[in-house]
Structure 1
Amino acid sequence: MSSEHADNRQRILLVTGMLGAGKSTALRELEDLGWEAIDNFPIRLLQRLIGGDVGQQSLAIGFDCRTRGFVPADVIERVKKLTNREDLVLTTLFLDCSGHELERRFNETRRRHFLAQDMPVATGIAAERELMGPLRRWADVLIDTSNFSTNDLKQSIREHFAPTAPQEMTVTITSFGFSRGMPPVADLVFDMRFLNNPHWDPELRPLTGKDQGVGDHIEKDPAFASVFARIRDLLLELLPRYAAQGKSYVNIAFGCTGGRHRSVYTAERMAGALRDGGFSPTVLHRNLGSRASEMLEGPQQP
């Protein structure tokens, strides 16, 4: 769905998905974006809610398997009828999550799964996944939050459902450590682990990619200059094309083993190159404060 709201039709977003997948977080973020949000709304009253004259404020309606009178097939039929209205733009968002991660979240919060009763959490999740299957297959937008932090989900909601597009495309450059997991919302990921690792220099180990000594070490690697230039030229070609296609957010990530040296330096250098090219990137260093670990960095190269 386009993030622009160029006509006078009201936007209706149905927000559903697996329990524990982030529906409440999504609705709160939509409220912050200016949507009117209603949670656990009886779907049988949906046509009555928007049956008459509609306003101009975007409306997000949350529901799940706990909602009174919830039958997926009935939900789909009711929504199909509403999609024919010329005064509405109706979209369905389904929030999914892996069963293992849902179990962890339920156990962490000590919440009882609605469909589990006195059975294990995994049993309730399996029953819910079967129940929600038709809605998952039918939804317009699917967001899998298995590897998302709360901030990752909020960012994804902003990218999909901000009422108006930003004046300029937002470019974010992130450094990260592969040993601590991939960034879940990156559009373009570049692996810098082919470069000589400053971690194995005892004087550079406590420093980061923001320090001159680390930068000098990386610059001396024979592969750095040519690879950096190729990535820079690629990004300078791609970013205007993304903007021309109406993409509001582009997330670029540079990774190394621990996320403290090679990825940090490359991210900082690339941000400067993109600024020279007319863009205004935001730079985030996800693992800059992480502790250096020889076990994570792997064997030292001769």
Structure 2
Amino acid sequence: MERRRSRLLLVTGMSGAGKSTVLDVLEDLGWDCADNLPLNLVSGFVDGAADGARLAIGMDVRSRGFDPATLRDSLHAIPNIVTELLYIDCSGNELLRRYAATRRRHPLAPDRPAEDGIARERASTATLRHTADSIIDTTELTPADLREELIRRYGSDAEQPVLTLMSFGFARGIARTADLVFDLRFLANPHWVDDLRPLTGEDAPVQDYVAADPAWSDTVDRLESLLTDWIPRYWAAGKNYVTVAFGCTGGRHRSVAAAVEMAERLRGAGFSPNVRHRDLPSPPRDTIEGDRRSPVEAS
């Protein structure tokens, strides 16, 4: 009887970006995990697993035999597994903050500033990032956010593509994990309507207000047509995780309404999207939304 192939997830990326946290979450989700495993022991780790096992290994510049140029080919040479590479990234400034907070030394700069090690590691792993099946940028993610993202992607035994629709506010930073970003700041802003300001894009009055904008109907129709065409093309090209982000200014009204509307439309088209509202917990603030007057009126 033919053995059911195991699934091997290689977790790599920048030191300090959260690989250990990723492995901890995967272990909670039922994956067999090993951190900092030497490359020559990976084959034995796979051979000792049960049929159809979900395996995750963490490898980075600390790991013996770690060679970014040949690592992917070495994993593909192991028989009877489906391999996937997850790259954990983070901005340089945030990595510096984390190293300062923990007082740890960067593995590539034990006697030099952490900036030097971060630069060397980013350059040496650029090939892995470029060829990764999936990238998670943890710069703006809390541990809870990261756990939620991992559950969406790896919480099921089913090997099927994952589609996530996200809302966010440009004033709070662009969505780093998005594959496609759509800017909806041209739509009428409910924030400047007193009765709507405390509500969100999940509430019917806000949805009705946004839908009354003359540009709304044509915009969502075009986006629906585009996404129903493009998403299967991403999956056919081997991209198992697609994140579509809708942005407005504060991330509470227009972008949320768009994500809710598009999720409903895509479900009707046969997709099963997850929905995440990144900035919905943030309170409404005039300083975030900016001046509601036109440039002429504000001058």
After TM superposition, is the score higher than 0.5?
yes
Aligned-partner Cα distance in 2 for 1:136–1:268: 35
Aligned-partner Cα distance in 2 for 1:80–1:241: 25
Q: CA 1:30–1:136 in 2, change beyond 3 Å: closer, same or farther? A: farther
Aligned-partner Cα distance in 1 for 2:152–2:204: 36
Q: Is the 8 A contact 2:135 2:177 kept in 1?
A: no
1:61 to 57, 62, 66: 57
Q: Is the 8 A contact 2:59 2:66 kept in 1?
A: no
Q: CA deviation at 1:295?
A: 2.0
Q: CA deviation at 1:160?
A: 7.9
Secondary structure of 2:164's partner?
A: strand
Paired residue for 2:14? Answer: 18
Q: CA RMSD in A?
A: 3.9
Q: CA 1:289–1:107 in 2, change beyond 3 Å: closer, same or farther? A: same
Paired residue for 1:137? Answer: 127
Paired residue for 2:36? Answer: 40
Secondary structure of 1:202's partner?
A: coil
Secondary structure of 2:182's partner?
A: strand
Q: CA 1:301–1:106 in 2, change beyond 3 Å: closer, same or farther? A: same
Aligned-partner Cα distance in 1 for 2:26–2:40: 23
Q: CA 1:126–1:24 in 2, change beyond 3 Å: closer, same or farther? A: same
1:255 to 240, 247, 250: 247
Q: CA deviation at 1:144?
A: 5.9
Paired residue for 2:213? Answer: 221
Residues 56-77 of structure 1 deviation map (CA, whole Å, 9 limit, x = unaligned): 334433344445xx3545x977
Paired residue for 1:3? Answer: none
Residues 202-243 of structure 1 deviation map (CA, whole Å, 9 limit, x = unaligned): 333223223343333323322222222222333344445556
Specify every segment of 5 or more residues in structure 2 that has no aligned partner in the other structure, as ranges: 295-299
Aligned-partner Cα distance in 2 for 1:39–1:269: 41
Aligned-partner Cα distance in 2 for 1:81–1:211: 51
Residues 71-106 of structure 1 deviation map (CA, whole Å, 9 limit, x = unaligned): 545x97798667545445566655444432211111
Aligned-partner Cα distance in 1 for 2:93–2:272: 39
Aligned-partner Cα distance in 1 for 2:81–2:55: 11
2:283 to 288, 291, 300: 291
Q: Does 1:155 align with 2:157?
A: no
Code of the residue aligned with 2:210 in structure 1: it is: I
Q: CA deviation at 1:24?
A: 0.7
Q: CA 1:264–1:144 in 2, change beyond 3 Å: closer, same or farther? A: closer
Q: CA 1:283–1:112 in 2, change beyond 3 Å: closer, same or farther? A: same
Paired residue for 1:187? Answer: 179
Specify every segment of 5 or more residues in structure 1 that has no aligned partner in the other structure, as ranges: 1-5
Q: Is the 8 A contact 1:152 1:184 kept in 2?
A: no
Aligned-partner Cα distance in 1 for 2:97–2:105: 12
Q: Does 1:100 align with 2:96?
A: no
Aligned-partner Cα distance in 2 for 1:262–1:252: 15
Secondary structure of 1:26's partner?
A: helix
Q: CA deviation at 1:191?
A: 1.3
Q: Does 1:205 align with 2:203?
A: no
Q: Is the 8 A contact 2:99 2:106 kept in 1?
A: yes
Aligned-partner Cα distance in 2 for 1:92–1:254: 27
1:232 to 217, 221, 224: 224
Of residues 150-159 and 200-209 in structure 1, the stretch that sits farther from structure 2 once superposed is 150-159
Q: CA 1:112–1:208 in 2, change beyond 3 Å: closer, same or farther? A: same
CA radius of gyration, larger in: 1
Aligned-partner Cα distance in 2 for 1:209–1:51: 46
Residues 146-168 of structure 1 deviation map (CA, whole Å, 9 limit, x = unaligned): 535243477369648975324xx
Code of the residue aligned with 2:207 in structure 1: it is: G
Code of the residue aligned with 1:25 in structure 2: it is: T
Q: CA deviation at 1:52?
A: 7.0
